Copies of this chain bind each other. A is one copy, B any other.
């Protein structure tokens, strides 16, 4: 049994609010949130004095490609088409299971340092990816990224069944890479799977103008409306990126209660555009936030994404209050969990999983405490992450990683792989 005391608690039920309660954790679960008790101290294996700092639900990275850490800063100076053809695809082809395991772990370290407690990931080499998550104590939802380059699309059904019962920290959702990489036969197969399992379906969606134009040429419809027309969204799900959404796309998303996941840093860096987050929210679309992969961001840092989510909307809408901090914080913590099916990790409450972080308020960027939620979104940074706990286990504390691997050894292996295998 673990006890957090002498601090502040941020919860989201009925909007973000802060109290001075304490929190007890038994195993992987939050078992008490309330005023300090006079109970016997011996019941606790560990007591963490928060010294006035903030305990809150962890951030959920709602769209990423974790193993792409190996491509960080590899070819930032190339235009998109050359970047894909010369840097991404030929180098991704050189990845084996061992490399995916290594670079997934590297990404998980970065998540932990940013207060991220779960990821919604789309990548190949599922077995190595899942093993790295299990071995690191991390929580992830893997999403199939079906496309025309996969050897056998029926692997997805096998993976769906297997990974949804292999560990309580692993789950699996259905998805395609994107409309433009997936022919109609495979799309129909994915829709049949969604139908069979009554499962939500996900995809990269309207990320670039070219993608939208291509889909209109192929099918006479935008990607959201085309996919909806074949039943892709009949059981929910949603889209990653959503930069170029028409009014009809947005109406469909709202009416079907689909999720949109915004990836603002990646969209800036690759010159994809700025998602109309505020406009979509006004229409009732629910948002979560993702970092995308380190090849296009290049950081896996939820603080940067939160600031961008609000800041970019202000300029887009010519309104300095277009996307308030409290809503952004809710996207990063609560909505992220819910969109990926982790309803039991969405908030700090009795019975929920202990996926929690401690934010150091005793740093200059958090002072004065005029508004803690606004400080988190507008001036928070990774320097403020004191503790990251996943499933009741402290995996990161005061800059140190509590995982089986020595980070220095992971870094060394990463450099060796790059030197021996990857073209620069």
Interface residues of A (CB under 8 A from B): 69-74, 76-80, 83, 106-107, 109-110, 113, 265, 267-274, 294, 297-301, 303-304, 307, 310-312, 314-315, 317-322, 324-325, 362-365, 367-371, 374-375, 378-383, 399, 407-408, 410-411, 414-415, 417-418, 424
A77 touches B324 (CB 8 A): yes
A100 CB to nearest B CB, Å: 14
One of B303, B321, B417 near A79 (C-beta < 8 A)? B321
Copies of this protein in the assembly total 2
B371 touches A320 (CB 8 A): no
A371 touches B73 (CB 8 A): yes
Once A299-B378, A383-B381 are accepted as A-B contacts, the answer to whether A73 and B370 lie under 8 Å apart by CB is: yes
B382 touches A315 (CB 8 A): no
Once A304-B304, A375-B298, A418-B368 are accepted as A-B contacts, the answer to whether A383 and B265 lie under 8 Å apart by CB is: no
A74 touches B362 (CB 8 A): no
A69 touches B320 (CB 8 A): no
Once A268-B315, A369-B415 are accepted as A-B contacts, the answer to whether A297 and B70 lie under 8 Å apart by CB is: no
Instruction: Report B-chain residues with C-beta under 8 Å of the C-beta of A77.
Output: 321, 324-325
Once A299-B365, A378-B299 are accepted as A-B contacts, the answer to whether A271 and B113 lie under 8 Å apart by CB is: no
* Minimum CB distance partner of A324 in chain B: B77
A294 touches B379 (CB 8 A): yes
B268 touches A311 (CB 8 A): yes
Query: How far is B321's CA from A52's CA once the two chains are assembled, in angstroms?
Result: 44
B382 touches A382 (CB 8 A): yes
Query: How far is B348's CA from A134's CA once the two chains are assembled, in angstroms?
Result: 45
Once A271-B318, A320-B271, A383-B383 are accepted as A-B contacts, the answer to whether A301 and B365 lie under 8 Å apart by CB is: yes
Instruction: Report B-chain residues with C-beta under 8 Å of the C-beta of A320.
Output: 78-80, 83, 269-271
* Minimum CB distance partner of A314 in chain B: B271
A312 touches B365 (CB 8 A): no
* Minimum CB distance partner of A268 in chain B: B311
One of B80, B303, B378, B399 near A298 (C-beta < 8 A)? B378
Once A304-B304, A364-B110, A408-B362 are accepted as A-B contacts, the answer to whether A76 and B378 lie under 8 Å apart by CB is: yes
Query: How far is B415's CA from A77's CA once the two chains are assembled, in angstroms?
Result: 45
Once A269-B311, A271-B315, A322-B271 are accepted as A-B contacts, the answer to whether A73 and B364 lie under 8 Å apart by CB is: no
B411 touches A379 (CB 8 A): no
Query: How far is B106's CA from A73's CA once the two chains are assembled, in angstroms?
Result: 34
A298 CB to nearest B CB, Å: 4
Q: Can you identify 12 A-B contacts, CB atoms within 8 angstroms?
A: A69-B364, A70-B368, A76-B324, A83-B320, A110-B365, A271-B318, A298-B378, A299-B381, A304-B304, A362-B407, A362-B408, A367-B414
One of B273, B314, B364, B407 near A315 (C-beta < 8 A)? B273
A368 CB to nearest B CB, Å: 5
Most buried by B among A303, A320, A375: A320
B408 touches A74 (CB 8 A): no
A105 CB to nearest B CB, Å: 9
